[in-house]
Structure 1
């Protein structure tokens, strides 16, 4: 059976920032009444230092039982993740030379940031994020450690920073969207994937400024 109480926080290809204030951000008048918030220190960060706190965040793609180095053509690289001016930054770009990995050929690079501490059911997860201004994905998501055949994934926000005439029709508005997925993965049985998704359009581009996403 899958252990659904164990969750890892992952921030994929973001340009700036994971929020770590003492209480969540809510629109005025929408703060849930009667709740007492307690910050989880090991999963919170304002990035006020001059380097990534490796006691909290893993920036190496393959480490601590994680083996995913990125979905082709985008390769995760630890050197593309750093802290500057109070922001966690992830650089995306073109590789000097193509790289061939387990999943295929990579021609672009980015980064992935995972929490060292696993989360728990009932916790609230929040990120202050500005999408990178490219066609590469900017995503804030949760993933259970799962069992031998299944795992649960929650994409709180999945978007891009810009689109072009080459962008597939279904993704033409993904540079101006709040898009979420709930996915039940099965690795060795059918159906392989059960997904429910929802989205709403934004008045601004995802890469124009910081937005706060939470679930």
Structure 2
């Protein structure tokens, strides 16, 4: 799936490299944000959000939930911004990072006028994910109906905290060495260095999607 940081940052690198405008949006809980990214004119996603968060460092939709109306609000803004690009009305683009909490009614708008000096992506042209220097590596384990996911660089996970977050989504066993989650008829064994073995899957894409859903990436 595309609902994870690794794919978003990869898409950002591809669009910046090719000079293609794109509209970013994300929702978690009651909070959402969106920004229209124009390569060479506005900050890119790496400028706006900083380095890609390591696995398990932020909640996911599965562990924190998503309020439906917030999705509709962010999607409506994204579609409107995309239409402005398609009909060549760039002067009407928001050119800002819009942050909304629909539950509290808080709206914030931070202007995004120029790319950030020294940004590795749009400032220096360093495409870490496109050039396969970062991101995760997935490997099918022969004869085991399982896939190993190995993030790069390797993070240090707080397995106890992750176990508390995942307690509501399936059966969780955790010790000082690993965390085991049983859910959706699958089993994820997660280690302190971010590695995971996803059992019960037949392809790497499904394993990556489960990892992103429950651990984050």
| TM-score, reference length from structure 2 | 0.24
Higher CA-based Rg: 2
Higher helix share: 2
Higher strand share: 1
